[in-house]
Amino acid sequence: MPELPEVEVLTRHLRPLLLGKTIRGVIVKRAKVLRPTTPGKFRRTLLGAKFTGLSRRGKYLRFQLDGGAAGGRVILVGHLGMTGRMFLTRDPECWPVHAAVILDLGGESFIFEDTRYFGRLTLDGSVTEKLGPEPLGGDFQPATFARALRRSRQAIKVRLLDQMLVAGVGNIYASEALFRARLSPKRAANKLTARQIARLWKAIRRVLFEAIRWGSTVPLNFVGVKSDGLFYFGRAPGKPDFYEERLRVYDRKGQPCVNCRRPIRRIIQAARSTFYCPRCQRG
Ligand SMILES: [Zn+2]
C-alpha to C-alpha distance for 193 and 206, rounded to whole angstroms: 20
The average confidence (pLDDT) of the chain is 88
Of 100-109, 153-162, 169-178, 234-243, where does mean pLDDT reach its minimum? 234-243
User: 40 by DSSP, 3-state: which?
Assistant: helix
| 3-state DSSP percent of the chain in helix, strand and coil, to 5 | 30, 25, 45
Gap between the Cα atoms of 109 and 165, Å rounded? 36
User: Which residues belong to the active site?
Assistant: 2-3, 59, 272
Q: How far is the CA of 91 from the centre of ligand 1 (A)?
A: 49
The C-alpha atoms of residue 164 and residue 154 are separated, in whole angstroms, by 14
| pLDDT per residue as tens digits for the range 65-78 | 998 877 789 999 99
Helix (H, G, I), strand (E, B) or coil at 268: strand
Q: How far is CA 281 from CA 47, 174, 179, 186, 250, in A?
A: 53, 13, 6, 10, 14
Return the CA Rg of the chain: 20
Contacts of 240 (CB under 8 A, 6+ apart): none
State the amino acid at position 180 in one-letter form: R
161-209 pLDDT per residue, tens: 999 999 999 999 999 999 999 999 999 999 999 999 999 999 999 999 9
Identify whether the C-beta of residue 175 lies closer than 8 Å to the C-beta of residue 281.
Answer: no
Instruction: Determine the Cα–Cα distance for residues 44 and 69; give it in Å rounded to an integer.
Output: 6
Under 8 Å between Cβ of 169 and 4: yes
pLDDT value for 213: 83
What letter would DSSP give residue 232?
G
SS3 label, residue 59:
coil
Q: Checking phi first, is residue 71 left (phi over 0); if not, alpha (psi -120 to 50) or beta?
A: left
| Cα 203 to averaged position of ligand 1 atoms, centre (Å) | 16
179 CA distance to ligand 1 middle (Å): 9
For a pLDDT cut of 90, what percent of the chain falls above it? 71
Q: How far is the CA of 140 from the centre of ligand 1 (A)?
A: 28
Strand bridging mode 85-89 / 99-104: unpaired
Closest CA to 244 of 254, 256, 252: 252
Q: Is the pLDDT of residue 89 over 90?
A: no
**Residue 227: is its pLDDT beyond 50?**
no
